[in-house]
């Protein structure tokens, strides 16, 4: 612009075209460079009033004609060379629409950063979830066909989502209820009996022995961090793999994936020794109505479950607290000094899912923290 001697008003118009990514600039860029011409394009007439001459290399060229309206402009070179006709208004509107679409797509992508895939080749899965104790912005009980995938919300507008949990279900009816695996209840779940004036009744639901993805997602584009884990604290149902694409760390070390595809229900301990209680118990979660295994109890959940077993005691009860890390064992130091880390369950879990969250106070080792531009891909596999 300085080379052709444009004055400040010309420069201001040129800057406006740059900001709008004007198609006129593309047209001008195709013209041959000549010593005796200057071109003005998409410049309102009021800007050019009184400026019908421009200088280049000490020479003067006169603008022969300028026709302008609210929707069309035409620039003519001094030798009568026609630059181009174009629709100013249409070009501006198209640019704005394209920019709006890009912004909308970018905003949506930042609000849906979790993809869940069905890695089971012979059966669909359903994904249930909880967000802050209720149903989140994604639909409940989303069905995913074999080798299919679905994307889930991780934010709502400018707000992140806190205390989220996603888990798989299998063998469900058309509405995603009455499942053979993962029917552990929650907001909007069919196994929960709801009566006005009474608390929710989970007696028809499965024990919560689910492979759970847990996360608190920070607001989009904020400086805060997501916190994520794969929780096996209550037990597990399906093997899985979690991959992250972004800036993440786990226990201070860069993190990009955990592959727990080998943690199948078949590896569930059949004779877990509870030394503090003098008992040996089977941790397999077997539905008494069907006689089929639906998952694996964690040591704590096996002791306190009142759905498919007779509970041994409450989490804080003597002996039970050693495995639930509650009561007198309710500190990280006391818990880790107890028997929980020496159980078959935790040892198998750490062997086949080293980054998993296996028991209370195991979260320091298992928690993953990520930037808000991170995307997550979670794949659930067949139970066997």
Q: Where are the domains of the chain?
A: 111-380
User: What pLDDT does 37 receive?
Assistant: 35
Grade residue 319 by pLDDT with cuts at 50, 70 and 90.
Answer: very high
Please spell the DSSP secondary structure of 312-365, one letter per residue: ---TTSTTTHHHHT-GGG-SHHHHHHSSGGGSHHHHHHHHH-TTSB-STT-HHH
End-to-end CA distance of the chain: 70
Pick the CATH number of 111-380 from 2.60.110.10, 2.40.10.230, 1.10.287.3510, 3.30.70.1230: 2.60.110.10
Measured between alpha carbons, how far is residue 299 from residues 214, 238, 252, 254, 256 in Å? 20, 18, 28, 30, 29
User: What pLDDT does 288 receive?
Assistant: 96
Query: pLDDT digit string (tens) for 182-205?
Result: 999 999 999 999 988 888 999 999
Query: pLDDT digit string (tens) for 100-127?
Result: 555 544 555 689 999 999 999 999 999 9
Higher-confidence residue of 221 and 75: namely 221
d(CA 11, CA 280): 84
User: What pLDDT does 99 receive?
Assistant: 54
Res. 72: pLDDT tops 50:
no
Res. 80: pLDDT tops 90:
no
User: What pLDDT does 232 receive?
Assistant: 98
Does the predicted model carry a pTM greater than 0.75? no
Query: pLDDT digit string (tens) for 158-175?
Result: 999 999 999 999 999 999
- Identify the CA nearest to 132 among candidates 50, 211, 216: 216
Res. 11: pLDDT tops 70:
no
User: What pLDDT does 236 receive?
Assistant: 98
User: What pLDDT does 334 receive?
Assistant: 96
User: What pLDDT does 197 receive?
Assistant: 87
Average pLDDT over residues 88-109: 56
- Judged by average pLDDT, the poorest of 58-72, 87-101, 214-228, 335-349 is 58-72
Average pLDDT over residues 60-66: 39
Grade residue 331 by pLDDT with cuts at 50, 70 and 90.
Answer: very high
d(CA 1, CA 174): 66
Helix (H, G, I), strand (E, B) or coil at 299: helix
User: SS3 letters for 73-128?
Assistant: EEEECCCCCEEEEEEHHHHHHHHHHHHHHHHHHHHHHHHCCEEEEECCCCCCEEEE
The alpha carbon dihedral of 106, 108, 114, 116 has a sign of negative
- Identify the CA nearest to 168 among candidates 121, 237, 266, 228: 237
Share of the chain above pLDDT 70, in %: 72
Res. 302: pLDDT tops 50:
yes
Please spell the DSSP secondary structure of 256-290, one letter per residue: -EEEETT--GGGS-SSEEETTTTEEE--EEE-TTT
């Amino acid at each position: 612009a300085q080379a052709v001697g444009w004055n400040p008003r010309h420069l201001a118009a040129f800057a406006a075209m740059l900001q709008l990514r004007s198609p006129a600039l593309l047209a001008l860029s195709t013209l041959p460079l000549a010593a005796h011409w200057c071109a003005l394009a998409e410049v309102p007439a009021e800007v050019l009033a009184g400026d019908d001459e421009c200088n280049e290399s000490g020479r003067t060229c006169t603008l022969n004609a300028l026709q302008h309206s609210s929707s069309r402009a035409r620039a003519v070179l001094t030798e009568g060379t026609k630059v181009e006709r174009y629709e100013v208004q249409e070009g501006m509107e198209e640019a704005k629409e394209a920019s709006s679409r890009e912004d909308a797509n970018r905003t949506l992508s930042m609000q849906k950063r979790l993809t869940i895939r069905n890695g089971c080749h012979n059966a669909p899965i359903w994904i249930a979830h909880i967000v802050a104790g209720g149903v989140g912005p994604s639909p409940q009980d989303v069905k995913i066909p074999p080798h299919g995938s679905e994307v889930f919300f991780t934010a709502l507008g400018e707000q992140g989502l806190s205390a989220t949990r996603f888990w798989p279900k299998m063998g469900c009816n058309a509405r995603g209820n009455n499942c053979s695996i993962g029917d552990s209840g929650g907001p909007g779940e069919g196994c929960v009996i709801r009566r006005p004036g009474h608390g929710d009744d989970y007696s028809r639901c499965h024990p919560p022995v689910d492979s759970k993805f847990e996360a608190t997602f920070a607001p989009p584009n904020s400086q805060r961090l997501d916190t994520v884990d794969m929780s096996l604290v209550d037990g597990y149902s399906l093997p899985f793999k979690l991959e992250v694409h972004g800036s993440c760390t786990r226990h201070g070390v860069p993190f990009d994936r955990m592959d727990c595809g080998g943690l199948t229900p078949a590896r569930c301990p059949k004779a877990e020794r509870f030394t503090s209680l003098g008992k040996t118990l089977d941790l397999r979660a077997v539905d008494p109505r069907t006689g089929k295994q639906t998952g694996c109890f964690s040591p704590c959940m096996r002791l306190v479950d009142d759905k498919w077993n007779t509970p041994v005691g409450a989490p804080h009860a003597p002996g039970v607290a050693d495995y639930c890390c509650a009561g007198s064992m309710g500190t990280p130091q006391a818990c880790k000094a107890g028997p929980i880390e020496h159980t078959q369950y935790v040892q198998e879990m750490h062997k086949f899912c080293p980054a998993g969250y296996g028991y209370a106070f195991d979260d320091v080792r298992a928690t993953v923290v990520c930037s808000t531009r991170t995307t997550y891909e979670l794949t659930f596999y067949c139970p066997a």
